[in-house]
Amino acid sequence: MTEQVRPEVLISRLTAENEIWRVEAETRLVVLGQLAVDPLIGALQHAHASVRVHAVHALGQIKDRRAIPAVVSALADTENNGAVAIAAEKALINWGEDAKPALMDAASHGAEHVRPRALRALGRIGGDDLRPFLERLLQDRIAPVRTQAAAALGAALQERSIELIAPLLRDPDKWVRYGVAEALVRCGSVRGESALREANEDPEEQGGYLRHWAEELLDEIEELKRTGRALA
């Protein structure tokens, strides 16, 4: 019988340069389950971003509710191009319904750069119960929060969100208009076509990714029209 390795030892192996060793250590931590939860929560304070990423991955697979607040806090991690925050967002989506209360709190009261991430996760989790909460945030003072509240409504409610989020096509912030236009396309609506043409011709963004992004969405709109699936 293979001797069980203490979780602290496995966590120390998450600093290895060899990625295979790190992934193996993460897998063994997941197998330990609840025994590894507290050490993994502690590992979210580790100096190495890679250790924090593996810790988030493992906690997201174990799915012990005790870890949810710590993983929500990891949404604020900005090191290494937000790698830990991206991993935390995915883990919380995987948690599903259990993560909703903590995500709603983060979306309401978190740091400015955390709130949109929390909203994006909520939209992916979905559920009609989110509608009143997300609707309130459509009027938030922070533009990315308005954008992600609209996108989350679109993801959660699909075509039932169109009437709720379409008014933001008149938002004074162009990035909100562009983001809402994309959310509408994802719902099958063509209402954001004018905003996407604005993005495609935006003189401040010529030569960047925005034009390509807008063209792809405009192509999707044309396909919706061509196939008779376009919603007003």
Q: Which helix (H) or strand (E) holds 146?
A: helix 143-157
Q: What is the mean pLDDT of residues 143-149?
A: 98
How much is the pLDDT for 1?
Answer: 38
Q: What is the mean pLDDT of residues 210-231?
A: 95
Q: Output the pTM of the full model.
A: 0.89
| Contact by Cβ (8 Å): 131, 100 | no
Q: What is the mean pLDDT of residues 76-92?
A: 95
Domains of the chain as residue ranges with CATH:
1-99 (1.25.10.10)
Lowest model confidence (mean pLDDT) among 36-45, 202-211, 219-228: 202-211
Cα torsion 127, 128, 133, 136: sign: positive
User: Rounded distance, CA 89 to CA 21, Å?
Assistant: 24
**pLDDT per residue over 154-178, tens digit each?**
999 999 999 999 999 999 999 999 9
Q: Which helix (H) or strand (E) holds 215?
A: helix 209-226
Compute the mean pLDDT over every residue in the chain, rounded to the nearest whole number. 94
Structure tokens, 174? 């162009």
